[in-house]
Structure 1
Amino acid sequence: MEKKLPIVEPIIKCYQSVAYPLSIILAHDEAWPWLYSNFIQLYSPNGFEIMMHNYEDTNFKDYPWLVVNDFESLVEYGEEELVQSLIQAIDRDQYVYLFVDEFYIPRTGSYGIRTHVHDLLINGYDLEAQKFYVSGYVKNSQYTFYTVSFEELASSALNGDSMPHKEIKLLKYSKYKLPNYTYLAYKFDMENVVEQLADYLSNQDTSVRTRMLQSPNHFFSGIQVYKVLYSQIKNASSTGRLELHPFLTMYEHKLLMNRRVEYFIKQKGLHLDAFLTATGTLAEKCLSARNLALKFLFTGDHSILVRLTNHIKELEALEYQVFTDLHAELNTVKPRKLLSKAELFFAESSTKLDHLFELSTDQDNYPDIYDRMASLYPETIASFYEIDRDKANKLMYIFLKSMEERNWPAHHTDWFVSRCRELLNHIEDSVLREMVGDSLKAVSRSRISASRRRMTSSEPQCLP
């Protein structure tokens, strides 16, 4: 038996705490507008690292569509019990995020050499081959998908003094937002893109925009994070050590901007071909800077640092010009026109209709559909028929069938008949009104007849 949960290689993968949740949610089309609306601002928390403003810790609970549960401590687990628990989590469609000692993990740079605790994501298993499907960094700092045997994974998670106490999180993709289980949709937000781009160019702290949720971080932000690269080069000239993560983050930032512009062109119909070329050039130059930094680490040739410094200076100037022009161009794009009350009503009704219809694919959801429809205004149900008759008919059938099974008393029948009349008043199409009316009259007669039979029974009927 084999099971693999969907997963993709994310654009942002410099830090696994960002790469892992993105690899889960970006396997679903509805997440891409959210990605392209965010991850624009950069900041440095300490002068040595560069992060993308949005989600950088291992909490994961702020990611849309991601339901996060903490796993119990591993202190009491044996290897077999741990493997079975991880398999059961996958069977519940939960990805497993955990820390392992890479000394026990083949393909990693620490395998069989030294203890190195790092995080790992499990997205599947193969019982016959006795292996887990995982993702993470292997030798040569390559982010990839690979397999680890049950025995290797259990050993890497349980061995070491601190390993059983490390956190494990279970991550599940859900289209519905808890606790109300409402459908979660995210529309591309051009205004947010323009605001974040303005913050980036002016070195403004974007975290002040979310201060109602948490205190601003007050780290230095924006295009001035290039100072981190210069600082890294200066440090390398005296120590011979150079941290690659800031260079990789800058490359992924420009690559994502290039993909974002491509999205503007293909999905939004904007004429930005020149910016597609320009941001592509920026991404290539950032990759060249990363490669120069890597070459220095391999060779120790200090002349490379001079070339790298000049390259970064040219890159910074070009990026500022390209992003300034792009911001000006996007700022001229007319914002989405405000919807009238009628348009907004139909947009909300359409979302409700799609949500209910999706639930209708599983009969176990019928009681939930009934409860939700019973709480809707008649004009909302009427709008369902105007949006999609076939979907509305199916939902109405489920609603009426569920009502029959609940055996309502007489006064509930009267309530339902009045609801039917009110519903018909909101359907303007005469043919449609007659069709729905005939259906509802038939059910009303059935309900009245059933109600009268119950009134003659010896036992009083109670509300369900």
Structure 2
Amino acid sequence: MNAVQLPVLNPPLKSFLRWAYTLSITSAHKETVPWYYSNFIQLSCTKKFLEDGRQCYVDFFRGKPNELNFNNPFLLTCSVNYTILESLSLESWPQFFADQIRRSYYCIVFLDESRLSPAASYQKEPFPHHLFLYGFDWNERVFYASMFDSTGVYRNLEISFQEFTDAILSMRQLLQENREADHHTYFYKYEPHSPYPFDKRAVIDQLRDYLNGETRLNRINYNPDENEAFGVRVYDYLQMYYDAVQDNDPRLGSRNDVRHLHVLWEHKKMMGERIEYLVDEGIIPYDEELVEGYKDLTKRALKLRDQYIRHQIRADPEMFERLRLRFNQFRDEEPVLMQKLITLLEG
């Protein structure tokens, strides 16, 4: 086979590549839908980003380990580091990854994205990152890949074998010079081992955790990180973050202003879609206050994100007051809707 493309769909969540990459695989299979709607309820946020000068992360939380590390029940996962792959000559890398794709493995390769022409970091400082490969055309000498392009849009595109090997070589050099840690290369095969029906109990537990600002996921193996806030408490740290942005606080490290608001919007959108799924499947009765309430939260969250994007282009003096207003509204309104959803699920 000189050309292979494994099935992928536009992922429903794109805030971080750990979700976009894995969900683009599983979303292509209808049997994963109940699992998807049983998850992605909890949010987490870095707490000590000012004291420690670290980057502030706001993200969906599904427990630990990271989603790339064997955390998806539908994906048979293998991972290797550059030490294991060092016996491969540089010229052999395209053949090696094409062979894995032929065997139905999706490949998430750790490389230097600054060597890839579609990337925002192209020909700039080194940018170690993961690239998702889902196919290749040997005659055209290209991989079919997914990534955020130079405009910040997540899309499918082609990466030449030459650029791919350039990015691998650069990553090898960064590792040899101890300028970067090896974040491993992953191989995923879609392989459901057993059915996954919608898990009402898991959803109720996650909703309660969100309302209580805590997590019980994976506590058998992992203690909760003291530097993470959960659920409704995330709003407090989002407010702290944007206060620091407004004040040009010198303690604020690397910034992700728009991404935080994008995650917030994806969370409300996901909750609204989950409610529609539950109604359609007859798991809960239709409740106008619940359905319309999350539609309204979703619209306001999307508008807030888009307003901030415009603010970054042309400063809006009202932007930070608008953020405070919306965070306060969400903090007050969302618990009421979530409690109603719990009541409906408990029947």
Q: Which category of TM-score, normalised to the shorter sequence, fits these structures?
A: 0.7 to 0.9
Give me the CA root mean square deviation: 2.2
Superposed, 1:354-393 pairs within 5 Å as none
The higher relative CO (CA closer than 8 Å, separation ≥ 6) is in: 2
Q: CA deviation at 1:72?
A: 5.5
Q: 1:295 to 1:264 in 2, by over 3 A?
A: same
Say whether 1:60 aligns with 2:75.
no
Is the contact between residue 254 and residue 283 of structure 1 (CA under 8 Å) also seen in structure 2?
A: yes
Q: CA deviation at 1:310?
A: 1.8
SS at match of 1:205: coil
The 2-side partners of 1:290 and 1:222 are apart by 19
Q: 1:60 to 1:32 in 2, by over 3 A?
A: farther
| Amino acid in structure 2 at the alignment position of 1:162 | L
1:192 aligns with one of 202, 215, 221: 202
Q: 1:58 to 1:39 in 2, by over 3 A?
A: closer
SS at match of 1:98: strand
Partner of 1:79: 90
Is the contact between residue 66 and residue 173 of structure 1 (CA under 8 Å) also seen in structure 2?
A: yes
Is the contact between residue 79 and residue 151 of structure 1 (CA under 8 Å) also seen in structure 2?
A: no
Per mean C-alpha deviation after superposition, the further-off stretch among 98-107 and 222-231 is 98-107
Deviations 1:323-364 (A, max 9, x none): 222222223x2xxxxxxxxxxxxxxxxxxxxxxxxxxxxxxx
2:264 aligns with one of 242, 250, 263: 250
Partner of 1:50: 58
Say whether 1:223 aligns with 2:237.
no
| Amino acid in structure 1 at the alignment position of 2:209 | D
Superposed, 1:174-323 pairs within 5 Å as 174-176=191-193, 184-207=194-217, 210-218=218-226, 219-239=228-248, 243-268=257-282, 270-274=284-288, 275-323=290-338
Q: 1:244 to 1:206 in 2, by over 3 A?
A: farther
Q: CA deviation at 1:149?
A: 0.9
Q: Percent identity?
A: 25
TM-score between both structures, scaled by the size of structure 1: 0.65
The 2-side partners of 1:43 and 1:80 are apart by 42
Superposed, 1:76-115 pairs within 5 Å as 76-115=87-126
2:184 aligns with one of 167, 174, 181: 167
Say whether 1:157 aligns with 2:168.
yes
**Larger Rg computed on CA atoms:** 1
| Amino acid in structure 2 at the alignment position of 1:122 | L
Q: CA deviation at 1:99?
A: 1.7
Is the contact between residue 21 and residue 60 of structure 1 (CA under 8 Å) also seen in structure 2?
A: no
Partner of 1:392: none
Partner of 1:35: 36
Q: CA deviation at 1:9?
A: 2.0
Deviations 1:133-154 (A, max 9, x none): 1112112321111111111111
Partner of 1:460: none
Unaligned segments of structure 1, at least 5 residues: 177-183, 334-464
Partner of 1:379: none
| Amino acid in structure 1 at the alignment position of 2:41 | I
2:141 aligns with one of 130, 135, 139: 130
1:147 aligns with one of 149, 158, 163: 158
TM-score between both structures, scaled by the size of structure 2: 0.86
The 2-side partners of 1:93 and 1:148 are apart by 19
How many residue pairs end up in the alignment?
Answer: 323
The 1-side partners of 2:68 and 2:306 are apart by 32
Q: CA deviation at 1:273?
A: 4.8
| Amino acid in structure 2 at the alignment position of 1:53 | F
Choose between structure 1 and 2: higher helix proportion.
1
The 2-side partners of 1:242 and 1:309 are apart by 17
Is the contact between residue 81 and residue 183 of structure 2 (CA under 8 Å) also seen in structure 1?
A: no
| Amino acid in structure 2 at the alignment position of 1:202 | N
The 2-side partners of 1:305 and 1:249 are apart by 18
Is the contact between residue 98 and residue 119 of structure 1 (CA under 8 Å) also seen in structure 2?
A: yes
Partner of 1:21: 22
The 2-side partners of 1:163 and 1:298 are apart by 37
Q: CA deviation at 1:216?
A: 3.3
